[in-house]
Amino acid sequence: MQTFQFHPYLYKTFLFYLRSQNSQITPSAYYLMVRKIIHIDMDAFFASIEQRDNEAFRGKPLAVGYAEARGVVAAASYEARRYGVRSAMPSKTALKKCPHLIFTHGRYDVYKSVSNEIMEIFQEYTDLVEPLSLDEAFLDVTENRFGISSATEIAKEIKQKIFEKTNLTASAGVSYNKFLAKIASDYRKPDGLFIIRPKDGEQFVETLEIERFFGVGKVTAEAMHQMGIKTGSDLKQFSEAQLTQAFGKAGHTFYLNARGIDDRLVEPDRERKSMGAELTFEHDIDSLEQLQLILHEVAEDVIGRIDKRDFIGRTVTLKIKYADFQIITRSKTGFVPVTTFEQLYRIGLELLAPIDTSPKIRLLGLTIKRNDNRIHPADAYQLKIQFEEWKNER
Ligand code: TTP
Ligand code: MG
Ligand code: MG
């Protein structure tokens, strides 16, 4: 069946638009907006590389790190894991669990170059690659360079290519959001491939231990246990208000994740956090009209510097430096990415209007900053208007 495929940002905007219309998303509407996300993670990464490059290590319990008193295990081979040896474990403990554990020192330049090799493979499919560490990344393959409609097919190909190029195995998770794709990649390790389909996501999450949820560390897990929350299904019993009261902003995330929903975008690493420009005037200025002209110039400069496909900043910051070198900044965060001169200039004017221009000013700067892409549903009503605006601008 052919489903609609949205550009990831359109997906996002549309999702919030729907929510603003009717606080509940119907399953069918959600299905129409489905994204295809893959999470790939190398198996026992450092340890597998050492086993690949040294025959003596193959099939043996191996730890990468220092065996000395204060050493810790960076990576453990699967053979070592059978004895309970894990990453971040003190070497002393590891040796107690597995007395014949072999230690070898890390070769980080080699790990980095293997990492580059796998990242290159990901890039063959899409620009939307978000590396999380040397050995793993998210890919949004909703649209991909080969027009392959099956994300599972892509995941298989990638695993194959990684093996051909590096002689190492990776595990892949395929799903419709980051949260589930990451859990899926871990589910059948090593050399695994696991798919969580949209129709199964919510049920899958019910059985999930709370420790596996995104953002649940030791402290949060303990707090949840106190509340009687052990699994996703326990978590679901709590209202959004209860969860935000207990966990602040994260509570909102837990509420959505418990329903298999995760709106975070795959954000390419090379996407800059912010892009800006500023101008120091030859002569200090105190007229608003003149500042507006300068704003015009600076805004053009900033827009000229951003790559419109990749940069999705929504926060605009105006910086003013007075003649006495005092600096003030004023920011505004909108609901759609600022990508055009008209948008940026308009927001810049709004920020400039209330600023005191009676003391002389020596510098004006303008920056667009990338945000995390969460928008609180309470703010979502605004999107209706902005969605229309955004459509017109396309
Ligand atoms: P991971 O992907 O977490 O682990 P892994 O690849 O060794 O094993 P798995 O098959 O479960 O994915 O981390 C990747 C590499 O990062 C790992 O090989 C070593 C390094 N690392 C550390 O140096 N310290 C740590 O605490 C962890 C978790 C990893
Ligand atoms: Mg790994
Ligand atoms: Mg990893």
pLDDT digits (tens, 9 = 90+) for 124-167: 999 899 988 889 999 999 999 999 999 999 999 999 999 999 99
- Give the global pTM: 0.67
At residue 28, does pLDDT exceed 50? Answer: no
Q: For atom 12 of ligand 1, which residue has the closest CA?
A: 43
* CA 81 and chain centroid, separation: 29
Tokens (6 digits) for 317: 């910051």
Residue 375 is predicted with a pLDDT of 41
Residue 381 is predicted with a pLDDT of 35
The residues that bridge with 63 in the sheet, in sequence order, are 76, 103
Strands 62-65 and 73-76: antiparallel
Q: Say if domain 45-108 classifies as CATH 3.40.1500.10.
A: no
Residue 336: other Cβ atoms inside 10 A: 18
Distance in Å, CA 170 to ligand 3 centroid: 10
Distance in angstroms (rounded) separating the CA atoms of residues 95 and 269: 38
Segment 89-98, tens digit of pLDDT: 889 999 999 9
Q: Say if domain 274-372 classifies as CATH 3.30.750.24.
A: no
| Pure H helices in the chain | 8-22, 27-32, 45-53, 78-81, 91-97, 108-125, 151-166, 178-187, 198-206, 218-226, 232-235, 240-247, 249-257, 288-305, 341-352, 383-393
- In the block, tokens 């059978």 appear at 82
Residue 133 is predicted with a pLDDT of 84
Distance in angstroms (rounded) separating the CA atoms of residues 263 and 12: 7
Rg (CA), the chain: 25
Residue 308 is predicted with a pLDDT of 61
Q: Is 16 in the pocket of ligand 1 (CB under 6 A)?
A: no
Is the Cβ–Cβ distance between 184 and 175 less than 8 Å? yes
Dihedral of the CA atoms 272, 394, 278, 364 (nearest 10)? -130
| Mean of all residue pLDDT scores within the chain | 86
* CA 309 and chain centroid, separation: 17
Distance in Å, CA 365 to ligand 2 centroid: 42
Report the percentage of the chain scoring pLDDT > 90: 64
- In the block, tokens 């003149």 appear at 290
Distance in angstroms (rounded) separating the CA atoms of residues 94 and 86: 8
Distance in Å, CA 45 to ligand 2 centroid: 5
Q: Is 193 in the pocket of ligand 1 (CB under 6 A)?
A: no
In eight-state DSSP terms, residue 221 is H
Q: Which of 50-59, 107-116, 164-173, 309-318 has the lowest mean pLDDT?
A: 309-318
Residue 163 one-letter amino acid: F
Which sequence positions are flagged as catalytic? Answer: 136
Residue 10 is predicted with a pLDDT of 63
At residue 198, does pLDDT exceed 70? Answer: yes
Pocket test for ligand 1, best of 39, 46, 111 (most atoms within 8 A of CB): 46
Q: Which of 147-161, 224-238, 366-380 has the lowest mean pLDDT?
A: 366-380
What's the average model confidence in pLDDT over 359-373? 85
Architecture per CATH, domain 214-257, reads as Orthogonal Bundle (1.10)
Dihedral sign for Cα atoms in the order 284, 288, 290, 291: positive
- In the block, tokens 């969860």 appear at 243
Q: Is 88 in the pocket of ligand 1 (CB under 6 A)?
A: yes
What's the average model confidence in pLDDT over 69-79? 89
Name 155's Cβ contacts closer than 8 Å, sequence gap at least 6: 38, 40, 172, 174, 193
Q: Is 172 in the pocket of ligand 1 (CB under 6 A)?
A: no
pLDDT confidence bin for 27, thresholds 50/70/90: very low
Backbone angles phi, psi at 242, to 5 degrees: -60, -40
- State the CATH class of domain 8-43+110-203: alpha beta
Which SS3 state, helix, strand or coil, does residue 14 take? helix
pLDDT confidence bin for 391, thresholds 50/70/90: very low
Residue 108 is predicted with a pLDDT of 85
For residues 25 and 361, which has the higher predicted lDDT (pLDDT)?
Answer: 361
What ranges do the domains of the chain cover? 8-43+110-203, 45-108, 214-257, 274-372
Q: Is 38 in the pocket of ligand 1 (CB under 6 A)?
A: no
